[in-house]
Structure 1
Amino acid sequence: MTNPRADRVRDVAKLAQRSARTRRGLFLAEGPQAVREALRLDARLADDGAPRLVAEVYASAACLERYPELDALARATGALRTATDDVLAAMADTVSPQGILAVCRQLDVTLAEVLSRGPRLVAVLCRVQDPGNAGTILRAADSAGADAVVFTEGSVDPYNPKTVRSTAGSLFHVPFVIGADPAELAQQLRGAGVGVLAADGYGPVDLDALQDESAARRLTVGPPVVGPLGDGTLGDRALGGGANGEAAPEGRSSGEGEAAPSYALEAPTAWLFGNEAQGLSDAELALADARVAVPLYGEAESLNVGTAATVCLYASARAQRRGQRTG
């Protein structure tokens, strides 16, 4: 393809708009990493006799020469078209395209599908609106071995090109749900045996304390812990936090006078992560079994929500894996 004004080029470029993505059920994956993971998933689906993921692949000859694996995977789809740099620039959402992009069908799943698989770790984005933060959380969930990511109503579209790029291919690894109602979500999670924790900088429960308790339980003999303990053993040990659900510096109040329920970090858990500016709302916080603060040891005012999510997800993942090894 050599004409950047062709109708096909304009059709692909329109997928940068949410309305076009929703209407057509398609989205763009740009760059070698994202396209590689899309093509790998496409190949697995084809082997299983499932509908293919990748509808079209556009790449420059130079990119295909540089990445032989991409060349082979793309040609196997039967949907590869070589294109000039001008054509790719007209299609892509980025200022500096990386020589390849794919048009993919949307692949989100229902909450019922997620719960039917018995999830142990779920990340929930509550009105997270920045594409970069959303992509970072999804990538962290993938890295921590989470079973699913849920985007509640009011969150950024995971098919936003910036979100797709910031996942670095993890969008094609982790099942994700779109448009969930937080209250219904919490109810269904609990019905499936999954507890709910809120990442809240003002929370009365300290994440370090939860990890210490989890480690101590591994050394005791007894039945496995499967949910909230609710025994009030932690006390008010958390550091304070900011309004965006992220940990805040020492010396700030953190729910003084509140009971601080303990929680089994090794239990099946869904973490709630709030909006960048407003954090979790009172209604969202009320859905949680415990409000957990990530402690800060330096002078930073707070943690970015993507960083806080990474810390929380890895804390759960580590406790769960230790429990599996000793169970």
Structure 2
Amino acid sequence: MTNPRADRVKAVRALASRSVRRRTGTFLVEGPQAVREAVAPGSPRVHDVYVTVDAAARYPEIVAAARDVGARVRNGTPDVLDAMSADAQGVVAVVDQVGAGLDDVLTRRPRLVAVLAHVRDPGNAGTVLRAADAAGADAVVLTASSVDVHNPKTVRSTAGSLFHLPVVPGPELPDAVGALRSAGLTVLAAAGSGEHDLDDLLDVVGAAPAGVPDLSRPTAWVFGNEAWGLRDEDLALADATVRVPLRGRAESLNLATAATVCLYASGRAHR
């Protein structure tokens, strides 16, 4: 492929639009790290992989894996790949959208779930998903009011973790919390004004007194909007609210950092 203005190039670039993604049921995966994970066994169906000659020589394992999963591998000039995506780094893929049902996730008896409520920033959402993967979470839930997980910036921010664990898109927060609690998970809301200190909870893992959350139990963490956190009605849905201690003079932590700390605390407690 040599023409950056070709219809196929325009069709790939158009996947940056949510309406196009919704209509086609596919999304764009950009860059070698994310595409490498997309073509791994067990990932969603990969339709096409576009790669420059130089990138194909640099990442032969990606090309081989793409062919192994039945994807069409097409060579394009650097101008073509740049026209498809400014973040291509010589490799992009068109992949079926991901998405699991909450009921299906709960049948697997998850021990750690991250719930994103009203999270609108795609970079934050993707970073939390990546942190959840690293901390050993079993699933991530993005409520109806949160960003589309297939947003290109969200996908890039996951660095391939999007393909490692189930992602449940679209439930309303009360419905998600109710289902998680019914499945035996303790629902904890992360909030700067939380009634429990995270460090104190780590001190009593496995022996928490009555009324104090035990992080060794299966847990669903609820994280709120970047700017205003969780609303009062959202906090009221949780079994308890938890704050991350601030030892220095920082006014607060950003969403992704706070989520990472909370998820790793649960991951440690579960060990």
TM-score by length of 2: 0.97
- Compare CA radii of gyration and give the structure with the larger one: 1
CA offset digits 1:131-156 (Å, max 9, x no partner) = 11101100000001100000011111
Unaligned runs of 5+ in 2: none
State whether residues 215 and 270 of structure 2, in contact with CA within 8 Å, keep that contact through their aligned partners in structure 1.
yes
CA offset digits 1:190-233 (Å, max 9, x no partner) = 11111100001001100000000006x3xxxxxxxxxxx672xx
Give secondary structure in 2 for the equivalent of 1:62.
helix
Give secondary structure in 1 for the equivalent of 2:249.
coil
CA offset digits 1:73-99 (Å, max 9, x no partner) = 12333410000111111111x3x5300
Equivalent residue for 2:62, pick from 67, 70, 88:
70
State whether residues 49 and 71 of structure 2, in contact with CA within 8 Å, keep that contact through their aligned partners in structure 1.
no
Give secondary structure in 2 for the equivalent of 1:138.
helix
Q: Could you tell me which amino acid in structure 2 is paired with residue 147 of structure 1?
A: D
The residue number in structure 1 matching 2:77 is 84
Rounded to whole Å, the distance in 2 between the matches of 1:73 and 1:97 is 18
| Match runs of 1:97-136 below 5 Å | 97-136=88-127
Rounded to whole Å, the distance in 2 between the matches of 1:191 and 1:135 is 27
Shift in Å, 1:299: 1.0
CA offset digits 1:102-142 (Å, max 9, x no partner) = 00001211111111111110000001111111011000000
The residue number in structure 2 matching 1:53 is 45
Rounded to whole Å, the distance in 1 between the matches of 2:55 and 2:112 is 37
Moved over 3 A (4+): none
1:272 aligns with 2:264: no
The 3 A distance-change label for structure 1 pair 315 and 81 is same
CA offset digits 1:159-218 (Å, max 9, x no partner) = 000000010000000101111111111111111111100001001100000000006x3x
Shift in Å, 1:286: 0.5
Measured on the aligned residues, the alpha-carbon RMSD in Å equals 1.3
Give secondary structure in 2 for the equivalent of 1:136.
helix
Unaligned runs of 5+ in 1: 46-51, 218-228, 232-260, 322-327
1:284 aligns with 2:234: yes
The residue number in structure 2 matching 1:302 is 252
The residue number in structure 2 matching 1:318 is 268
CA offset digits 1:49-88 (Å, max 9, x no partner) = xxx5101100001001011211211233341000011111
Equivalent residue for 2:170, pick from 176, 179, 197:
179
The 3 A distance-change label for structure 1 pair 78 and 320 is closer
State whether residues 65 and 71 of structure 1, in contact with CA within 8 Å, keep that contact through their aligned partners in structure 2.
no
